[in-house]
Amino acid sequence: MDNLTARQRSYCMSRVKNRDTDLESLVRSELFKRGWRFRKHVPSLPGRPDIVFVRQRVAVFVDGDFWHGYRFPRWSASVSEFWVRKIQKNRKRDRNNYSKLRRLGWRVVRVWQHQIKRDLNSSIERLESLLSKRHCRED
């Protein structure tokens, strides 16, 4: 059971930063240093991707392991019913946005928090590889 009242929980949730997180800033900064140019949080795209490469039609989501439920079935029993519902809802929304973007002809990349923390360089190289391949096809 949740140990906060509905009002307290609502207040706490309203304080959670959902844009321009430290992880997003870290990834964007590294991409910019390497010469990549992009847009942030494009409202016209489903899910408002964190990083958007318009020319290459690549949408990138930088997702926190907890909020987006990385391997959620493994640890869902360890959180309250509130969080189970919240994370399930987030995961469903993520799947729907992914499908919508794919139908619109976008390539979608999800970069997880643990991947960035473990090896930022590898995460960036993965994105660059995808962007370079896409770029070559357009030329």
Confidence of residue 9 (pLDDT cuts 50, 70, 90): low
% of residues, the chain, pLDDT over 70: 87
pLDDT tens digits, 37-69? 999 999 999 999 999 999 999 999 999 999 999
Q: Which fold has domain 19-138?
A: Endonuclease; Chain A (3.40.960)
The four Cα atoms 121, 122, 128, 133 give a dihedral, to 10 degrees, of 160
The sign of the CA dihedral 38, 39, 42, 44 is negative
User: What value does the mean pLDDT take over residues 1-13?
Assistant: 72
The edge-to-edge listing of strands for the beta sheet with 51-53 is 39-40, 51-53, 58-63, 107-112
pLDDT at 16 over 90: no
Dist. CA 33–CA 29, nearest whole Å? 6
Q: Say if residues 72 and 64 touch (Cβ distance below 8 Å).
A: no
For residue 41, give the 3-state DSSP assignment. coil
* Domain boundary assignment for the chain: 19-138
